[in-house]
Amino acid sequence: MSTNPFLDVTLRSLAVYLFMIAGLRIFGKNQLSQLNAGDVILLLLISNAVQNAMVGSDTSLQGGLVAALVLFLANFGLKKLMFKNEKLKHLIQDEAEVLVKDGIADFEQMKKAEISVDELLETVREHGVESVEKVKLAVLEVDGNISVVTFDANNQTNFSRHKRKFPRKAHKF
């Protein structure tokens, strides 16, 4: 253990942050948007489980603030690194996946992305489109949202984005 309590909290917080990034990536949750009850329970239990790992015996306000600052900085730094390094970006983040093109659903891609036909149809309806055949393009974005591009009656392109996130497939290191 370090003799400097702030350095100790910093190193512990970084270790927990990197562990959580890897864990979320491996288990398929890139981003958490609308959470179901199981996701909320898991999130609460994980935060409780790693709290002591980050701050150790330092339960002071300063220790908590240092841990929070380290997490903010680590997240900021990781995003900057991902922007500059494509290999790192691909390691941490999936590519966008086309689910529907010109009214034809790609069932193989949907299976790989673990998106059911019912989920796709629900998303299409939420965009005000009555069938997949009227969808020009539906894409599972890297953040878990599904973007939909449609044609209207005048054959003009319309774009909307589904706000509910779908869990992304797990990444195999």
pLDDT band of 32, cuts 50, 70, 90: very low
Structural domain 97-162, CATH architecture: 2-Layer Sandwich (3.30)
pTM of the prediction? 0.56
CA-derived radius of gyration, the chain: 20
With pLDDT > 70 as the criterion, what percentage of the chain qualifies?
A: 78
Q: What is the pLDDT of residues 35-86, one digit of tens each?
A: 566 767 777 778 877 887 888 787 788 888 888 888 888 888 888 998 998 8
| pLDDT value, residue 153 | 58
Order of strands, edge to edge, in the sheet holding 157-162?
A: 104-105, 97-101, 135-140, 146-151, 157-162
Q: Looking at residue 106, what is its pLDDT? A: 92
What was the pLDDT predicted at 157?
54
